């Protein structure tokens, strides 16, 4: 007989507790598909709760598809498939981390996750941020409740403009800056601005989320292959695209920095016809570890065809959603005409806090600290690999820019097999092939992994490398012949 | 000779100071259209600054369109038109409040603004909110930096589900709830979910922003006239629409509450064919001042065709951007498949704070306080009108639900003229006709104003009514004959 104890439910309501117990039993297979559930009234009597409690629990289970009801027959356990596989934003789930519950995945805990873009607690400036929020709450009072202009509050836009002038050599007026809740939101806004009839060219390989956003908006998207300098102009020209979306400072995931000659080529392409635009995604340029940064396309553009985008989600925290774009004059006028009615998607409270954080020099200090931290981690990791027998199996590239490098594994095994073996040792890897659209690039890029080290615990680096070696330590016939 | 002093620039950089001085002179007409500006080098020498400073200032002015350059000729003052007219989100600007500066309108300060939806400082629970943020920063630590599921953090979704169960009698599982940065953002997400080929029916009159969002996404939009019960099913049926976007609890701006019979009619319409959906926008149901609330469409929907949307921007603060929608099971599956890759647009810090605010009962207390406050203001305002000679000129309707009522003025004057006269007395009004699409409804609704009283200073009510009387106190031949 089906029964549950309500003893350990703590503060949870009776019906959600019951719902959760039953859901667990359905997912674990204790309650099997097709099984008839007791009637609400009898079940309630037996459990010592009200009929309404059972009714609410059944209703929830039904809403979520765990049970189904037949008129005049009663409730039955539904046929459950673990269909809803969720992944972390910006990361790939290991093949075995299938979510068992809707919306709240039970992620596998990895010893070291080389896929994650999350900020580590010790890297977030908690005490300064808390102090500033408090001050903003006291000092700004009424201003916090005044509707922000659609593009963001002026003090934040001024701070960003100053920042761009100082660190990216860009002459931008605050009025050109549009602040929004993450670059994903801004991409959507740009599609509305540049039109649903535009054809968008993206980098292949590239950041999959960008592709998905264009797809979700139903616009035409062309996947343009890269050479060593980035997006290839010849392929671009025959693609029919009029907007390109690129990350010239540091391409993800290959790490390519677009040389100045290619930048001018692309700018020239944009200048050739009306309505050609370049979206310049500068998502992690703050983290460049060595060398002089190449000037942004925005700063050398003569024709007003570049939209510059950057974000604080990488440099501050992925969970504080603040990004911005810089519109050229022509698009600014169009934005005002068509999209200015939108409310800014970032809360005033966080806009004022970030403005103070930048203006008072905390942001600069924070970035320097983060950059040193990243450099240190990268060096520790590269050093550990060099000292490990793993070094005989892999080769490293693109280690100078940003938050990740590439690791090529000298093997015949598939990426799927390698990822699985690593996961078994508690290491999460993402193959470069994941970032390719279509087959050829995927096979060319096999055996190469994107090693995101910014989120790794320093103290685990040594052991992570050892585990990686254990995972990738193949039998001789699995090793690829030198080519 | 053109010259500027840099004495009072404080901490501002030389070039932005120069840019601002010149911009002011262009806007004020001191520098006139077509006037040639001094060359960079000579101007720099004369001002005692570097050529780079002048260059940067000119570049900024050019970017913003204040000056233009002719190759080998130099810089000229451009022909400036005050084209960029910004309005407050959700409100209409009075005709004379044309912005003179891009992006930062110099709004006319009104003695009483009956158009604004901003939260007043005394209505925002500053001390509780500050306390909770501080606690969340300490207690949640690491959780704050863990990427939120796309739909929002579970504690917030649980708190909202509980809230809906208790106050709206809705059985909703947390997993059905998608949290986003404002309803405007969620509308965009819904278009991606329901398709760019869908035809959307909106209420006429209605909230213009909703229309603009559909337009900005390039989707087909039908404007369906209302009768006393809301959207008319006969007109809906011949419109070809498959999605309707309505606010049945309290229609804006007419204040209509859709009776239960019409609700069932619309639900039946949705059930007749696949891919028919109803977006139920419940934006201010918390503020209902009297009477029993009618059940939501979501709670009586048998076919999983209703998407329920609500927001905290009305009930908490318009500048904290947190809203949510409740998806029916079928759309939830589609959302997971197509849109689950999106990061949540609300910062974790505010999600956790709001979750605690609701869970610990502060939200309920806050709403009760706000509701009492609104009722008090409404009564003070209605009472002041009744005691004023204004009462002979106007009639009031729809005073029981939400944050505004309608005021009909017995006159032959146009709405434009009435708005202008009120503005001259420091009173901002918005005509009901503003919310109509197309001519007929506009003329039918003439002389009626939407009186939003939630943002009015209690102590100004008496004088605001007196000023309104002064503004609307026409000569005899301006009064309309009784009809």
Per the CB < 8 A criterion, the answer to whether B57 and B15 are in contact is yes
Q: Give the model's confidence band at A90: pLDDT under 50 very low, under 70 low, under 90 confident, else very high.
A: very low
Cβ contact B320–A348 (<8 Å): yes
Residue among A122, A181, A191 with most chain B CBs within 10 A, to mutate: A181
Hey, how many other C-beta atoms are within 10 angstroms of the C-beta on A294?
Answer: 18
pLDDT at B82: 42
Q: Any CB–CB contact under 8 A between A56 and chain B?
A: yes
Q: Where are the beta strands (DSSP E) in B228-281?
A: 230-231, 243-246, 277-281
Half-sphere exposure of A348 (CA within 13 A, CB side): 24
Report, as an integer, the average pLDDT of A385-389. Answer: 93
B69 touches chain A (CB under 8 A): no
Q: What angle do CA A272, A276, A282 make, to 5 degrees?
A: 115
Query: Is B445's Cβ below 8 Å from some Cβ in A?
Result: no
d(CA B256, CA B401): 9
Binary contact (A346, B134; C-beta < 8 A):
no
So what's the ipTM on this one?
Answer: 0.77
- Tokens matching residue B278: 């109803």
In angstroms, the CA A18 to CA A5 distance is: 9
The reply to whether the predicted model has a pTM over 0.80 is no
Q: Give the least confident one: A218-227, A438-447, B20-29, B184-193.
A: A438-447
Helices and strands in chain B: count of H runs, count of E runs = 17, 16
**Cβ <8 Å between B130 and A134:** yes
Mean pLDDT computed over B452-466: 90
The DSSP element (H or E) to which B214 belongs, if any, is helix B208-216
**Beta carbons of A448 and A409 less than 8 angstroms apart:** yes
Size of interface A-B (CB pairs under 8 A): 234
Q: What is the mean pLDDT of residues B296-317?
A: 93
pLDDT of A464:
93
Chain A neighbors of B300, CB-CB under 8 A: none
Q: pLDDT tens, A70-88? A: 877 888 888 765 432 223 3
Cα distance between residue A422 and residue A467, in whole Å: 8
Contact A209 B341 (CB under 8 A): yes
Least confident of A79-83, A163-167, A323-327: A79-83
Per-window interface: B 345-374 vs A, CB < 8 A? 345-350
Inform me whether the pLDDT recorded for B84 exceeds 60: no
| Interchain contact, A321 vs B342, CB within 8 Å | no
> How far apart, in whole angstroms, are the C-alpha atoms of residue B257 and residue B401?
8
CB B449 within 8 A of CB B430: yes
Neighbours of A30 (CB within 10 A): 12
Chain A residues inside the 8 Å CB shell of B104: 149, 154, 175
Q: What is the CA radius of gyration of chain A?
A: 26
Q: How confident is the model at residue A64 (pLDDT cuts 50, 70, 90)?
A: low
Mean pLDDT, chain A, rounded, equals: 85
Tell which wins on pLDDT, B103 or B276.
B276
Distance between B74 CA and the closest CA of chain A, angstroms: 16
Please determine, for residue A353, whether its predicted confidence score (pLDDT) is greater than 60: yes
- CA distance linking residue B233 with residue B420, whole number of Å: 38
Say if residue B107's pLDDT is above 70.
no
* Residue B133 contacts A where some CB pair is shorter than 8 Å: yes
List, in sequence order, every beta strand (DSSP E) within B241-317. Answer: 243-246, 277-281, 306-311
The token pair that represents A266 in the structure block: 């692309």
Chain mean pLDDT for chain B: 85
Residues of B in contact with A146 (CB under 8 A): 118, 319
The confidence band for A289, taking pLDDT boundaries of 50, 70 and 90, is low
For residues A421-453, b (16+ Cβ closer than 10 Å) or e, as one string?
bbbebbbbbbbbbbbbbeeebbeebbbbbbbbb
Q: B306 or A48: which carries more pLDDT confidence?
A: B306
CB B374 within 8 A of CB B286: no
Give, for A178, the enclosing helix (H) or strand (E): strand A177-180
Spatial distance between the Cα atoms of A419 and A421, rounded to a whole number of angstroms: 6
| Paired tokens of B331 | 């759309």
Q: How far apart are CA A247 and CA A206, in angstroms?
A: 9
pLDDT digit string, tens, across residues B116-145: 877 788 888 999 999 999 999 988 888 899
Interface of B with A in 103-122 (CB under 8 A): 103-105, 117-121
- Select the more confidently predicted residue: A52 or B407: B407
For chain B, percent of residues with pLDDT exceeding 70: 89
Nearest-by-CA chain A residue for B172: A60
Task: Work out the average pLDDT over B77-85.
Answer: 54
Q: What is the DSSP letter of A121?
A: G
Which of A227, A252, A208, A245 has its CA nearest to residue A401?
A: A252
A319 closest CB neighbour out of B144, B192, B195: B144
Q: What is the pLDDT of residue B105?
A: 40
Q: Say whether B126 and A141 touch across the interface (CB within 8 A).
A: yes
Average pLDDT, integer, range B415-427: 91
Q: Poorest-confidence range of A225-239, A464-478, B454-468? A: A464-478
Burial of A314 (0-12, 13-18, 19+ CB in 10 A): buried
Percentage of chain A modeled with pLDDT above 70: 89
Tokens of A6: 């309500």
Axis crossing angle, helix A126-140 with helix A348-359, rounded to the nearest 10 = 120
Residue A290: pLDDT band (50, 70, 90) is low
* Count of Cβ atoms closer than 10 Å to residue A58 Cβ: 23
- Distance from the A366 Cα atom to the nearest Cα atom in chain B, whole angstroms: 16
> Tokens 């356990």 identify what position?
A77
Restricting to B residues 180-219, those with a Cβ less than 8 Å away from any Cβ of A are 181-182, 184-185, 188, 192, 195-196, 208-209, 212-213, 216-218
**Nearest-5° angle of CA A459, CA A463, CA A465?**
115
Query: How close A87 comes to chain B (CA, Å)?
Result: 8
pLDDT over 90 (residue B446): no
**CA-nearest residue of chain B to A59?**
B171
Selected residues 285-344 of chain A with any CB under 8 Å from a CB in chain B: 317-322, 328-329, 332-333, 336, 338-344
Q: pLDDT tens digits for A166-189? A: 888 899 999 999 999 999 999 999
- pLDDT tens sequence across B182-233: 999 999 999 999 999 999 999 999 998 999 999 999 999 999 999 999 999 9
Q: Which of A207-211, A426-430, B478-482 has the lowest mean pLDDT?
A: B478-482
Is residue B259 exposed (0-12), middle (13-18) or buried (19+ Cβ within 10 Å)?
Answer: middle
- Greater model confidence, A308 or B147: A308
Distance from CA of B143 to the nearest CA of A (A): 9
Q: Distance between terminal CA atoms of chain A?
A: 66
* Cβ neighbours of B322 in A, within 8 Å: 347
Angstrom distance (rounded) from CA A45 to CA B298: 30
Q: What is the pLDDT of residue B472?
A: 84
Specify whether the CB–CB gap between A76 and A69 falls below 8 A: yes
Nearest to A175 among B64, B141, B181 (CB): B64
Option in B56, B176, B349 nearest A171 (CB): B56
Residues B313, B323 contacting (CB under 8 angstroms): yes
Q: Whole-angstrom Cα distance, residue B199 to residue B202? A: 10
Of A56, A121, A148, which is closest to B141 when you measure between CB atoms?
Answer: A121
Nearest CA in chain B to A343: B89
Question: Cis bond leading into A393, ω under 30°?
Answer: no
């Amino acid at each position: 007989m089906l029964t549950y104890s309500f003893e350990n439910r703590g503060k949870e309501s009776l019906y959600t507790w019951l719902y959760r117990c039953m859901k667990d039993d359905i997912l674990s297979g204790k309650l099997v598909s097709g099984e008839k559930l007791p009637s609400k009234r009898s079940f309630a009597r037996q459990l010592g709760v009200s009929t309404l409690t059972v009714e609410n629990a059944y209703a929830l289970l039904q809403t979520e598809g765990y049970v189904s009801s037949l008129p005049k027959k009663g409730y039955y356990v539904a046929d459950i498939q673990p269909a809803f596989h969720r992944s972390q934003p910006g990361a790939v789930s290991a093949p075995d981390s299938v979510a068992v519950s809707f919306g709240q995945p039970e992620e596998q805990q990895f010893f070291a996750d080389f896929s994650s873009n999350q900020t580590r607690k010790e890297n977030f400036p908690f005490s300064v941020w808390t102090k500033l929020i408090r001050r903003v709450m006291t000092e700004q009072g009424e201003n916090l409740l005044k509707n922000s202009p659609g593009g963001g509050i002026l003090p934040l836009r001024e701070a960003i403009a100053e920042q761009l002038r100082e660190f990216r050599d860009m002459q931008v007026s605050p009025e050109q800056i549009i602040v929004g809740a993450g670059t994903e939101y801004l991409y959507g806004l740009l599609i509305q601005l540049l039109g649903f009839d535009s054809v968008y060219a993206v980098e292949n390989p590239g950041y999959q989320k960008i592709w998905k956003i264009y797809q979700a908006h139903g616009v035409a998207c062309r996947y343009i292959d890269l050479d060593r300098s980035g997006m290839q102009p010849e392929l671009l020209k025959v693609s029919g695209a009029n907007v390109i979306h690129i990350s010239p400072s540091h391409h993800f995931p290959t790490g390519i920095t677009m040389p100045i000659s290619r930048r001018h080529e692309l700018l020239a392409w944009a200048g050739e016809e009306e309505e050609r635009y370049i979206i310049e995604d500068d998502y992690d340029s703050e983290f460049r570890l060595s060398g002089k940064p190449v000037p942004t396309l925005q700063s050398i553009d003569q024709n007003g065809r570049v939209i510059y985008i950057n974000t604080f989600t990488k440099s501050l925290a992925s969970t504080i959603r603040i990004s911005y774009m810089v519109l050229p004059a022509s698009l600014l006028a169009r934005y005002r005409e068509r999209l200015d009615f939108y409310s800014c998607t970032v809360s005033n409270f966080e806009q004022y806090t970030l403005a103070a954080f930048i203006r008072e020099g905390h942001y600069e200090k924070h970035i320097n600290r983060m950059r040193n931290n990243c450099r240190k981690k990268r060096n520790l990791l590269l050093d550990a690999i060099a000292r490990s027998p793993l070094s005989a199996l892999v080769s490293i590239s693109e280690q100078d820019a940003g938050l990740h490098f590439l690791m090529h594994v000298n093997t015949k095994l598939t990426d799927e097999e390698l990822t699985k073996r690593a996961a078994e040792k508690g290491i999460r890897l993402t193959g470069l092939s994941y970032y390719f659209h279509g087959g050829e690039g995927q096979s060319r890029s096999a055996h190469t992994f994107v090693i995101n080290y910014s989120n790794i615990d320093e103290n685990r680096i040594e052991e992570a490398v050892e585990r990686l070696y254990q995972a990738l330590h193949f039998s001789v016939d699995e090793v690829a012949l030198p080519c």
